Structure 1
Amino acid sequence: MTVLAVALLAAVLVVAVTRPRALPEASAAVPAAAVVLLTGLLGVQQAWDEVRELGPTVGFLAAVLVLAHLADAEGVFRWAGGLLAHHSQHRPRRLFVLVVVAALLTTTVLSLDATVVLLTPVVLDTARRLGARPAPHAFACAHLANSGSLLLPVANLTNLLALQASGLTFLGFAGLMLLPQLAVLVVEYAGLRLTFRRDLAVPADPRGPDEEAPVPRVALAVLGATLLGFAVVSPLGVEPVWVAVAGAAVLAVRTLVTRRTRVRDVVGAASPLFCLFVLALGVVVAAVTQQGLGDLVAGLLPAGTSFAALLGLAVIGAVLANVVNNLPATLVLLAALGPAPAVGAVLAVLIGVNVGPNLTPVGSLATLLWRRVLAARGVPAPLGTFTVAGLATVPACLLAGTGALAVVLSW
Structure 2
Amino acid sequence: MLACAVVRPWGWPEAVVAVPAGVLVVATGAVSSDAAQAEAARLGPVIGFLAAVLVLAQLCDDEGLFHACGAWMARAGAGWPRRLLVQVFVIASVITAVLSLDATVVLLTPVVFATTARLGARPKPHVYACTHLSNTASLLLPVSNLTNLLAFTASGLNFTRFAALMALPWVVAIGVEYVVFRRFFAIDLDAGAQALTGDEPPELPLFALVVVASTLAGFVLTSAIGVNPAWAALAGALVLAARALAQRRTTPLAIVRAAAVPFLAFVLALGIVVRAVVDNGLDDALGHLIPAGAGLPALLGIAALAAVLANVINNLPAVLVLLPLTAPAGPGAVLAVLLGVNIGPNLTYAGSLATLLWRRIVRDHDTDVELGEFTRLGLYTVPAALACSVVALWGALRLIGT
For normalisation by structure 2, the TM-score amounts to 0.97
> Is residue 385 from structure 1 mapped to residue 373 from structure 2 by the alignment?
yes
AA aligned to 1:356 is G
* Matching residue of 2:210: 221
| Post-superposition offset of 1:213 | 3.5
| Post-superposition offset of 1:260 | 1.5
* Matching residue of 1:6: none
| Post-superposition offset of 1:205 | 3.9
Matches within 5 A, 1:199-348: 199-205=188-194, 213-337=202-326, 340-348=328-336
Q: Distance in 2 between matches of 1:226 and 1:122?
A: 24
Paired residue secondary structure (1:117): helix
Deviations 1:99-127 (A, max 9, x none): 00000000010000000000110011000
1:127 pairs with one of 92, 116, 140: 116
Q: Pick which of 381-390 and 48-57 moved more.
A: 381-390
Q: Distance in 1 between matches of 2:311 and 2:21?
A: 21
Matches within 5 A, 1:6-405: 12-205=1-194, 213-337=202-326, 340-405=328-393
AA aligned to 2:121 is A
Q: Distance in 1 between matches of 2:131 and 2:186?
A: 17
AA aligned to 1:366 is A
AA aligned to 1:253 is A
AA aligned to 2:370 is P
Q: Distance in 2 between matches of 1:129 and 1:225?
A: 33
Paired residue secondary structure (2:394): helix
| Post-superposition offset of 1:254 | 0.5
AA aligned to 1:378 is D
AA aligned to 1:391 is L
* Matching residue of 1:409: 397
Q: Distance in 1 between matches of 2:323 and 2:84?
A: 38
Deviations 1:183-217 (A, max 9, x none): 11110101111111110010114699757542101
**Contact 1:131–1:207, Cα closer than 8 Å, also in 2:** no
| Post-superposition offset of 1:89 | 2.6
**Contact 1:128–1:207, Cα closer than 8 Å, also in 2:** no
Deviations 1:76-107 (A, max 9, x none): 00011010001113211100000000000000
Q: Distance in 2 between matches of 1:341 and 1:58?
A: 26
Deviations 1:134-172 (A, max 9, x none): 000001111110000111000000000000000100001
Q: Distance in 2 between matches of 1:218 and 1:173?
A: 28
Q: Pick which of 74-83 and 86-95 moved more.
A: 86-95
| Post-superposition offset of 1:45 | 0.6
Q: Distance in 2 between matches of 1:162 and 1:64?
A: 17
Q: Distance in 2 between matches of 1:349 and 1:181?
A: 14
Q: Distance in 2 between matches of 1:246 and 1:337?
A: 33
AA aligned to 2:239 is V
Q: Distance in 2 between matches of 1:298 and 1:162?
A: 18
Q: Distance in 1 between matches of 2:321 and 2:40?
A: 15
Alignment root-mean-square deviation, CA = 1.2
The count of aligned residue pairs is: 399
Deviations 1:46-66 (A, max 9, x none): 000000000000000000000
Paired residue secondary structure (2:350): coil
| Post-superposition offset of 1:28 | 1.1
* Matching residue of 1:5: none
- List gaps (5 residues or longer) in structure 2: none
Structure 1 pair 148/188, CA: closer, same or farther in 2 (3 Å)? same
AA aligned to 1:373 is I
Q: Distance in 1 between matches of 2:356 and 2:51?
A: 19
Structure 1 pair 236/301, CA: closer, same or farther in 2 (3 Å)? same
Q: Distance in 1 between matches of 2:191 and 2:57?
A: 33
- List gaps (5 residues or longer) in structure 1: 1-11
Structure 1 pair 372/209, CA: closer, same or farther in 2 (3 Å)? farther
| Post-superposition offset of 1:228 | 1.0
**Contact 2:65–2:205, Cα closer than 8 Å, also in 1:** yes
AA aligned to 2:190 is A
AA aligned to 1:138 is V
Paired residue secondary structure (2:311): helix
For normalisation by structure 1, the TM-score amounts to 0.95
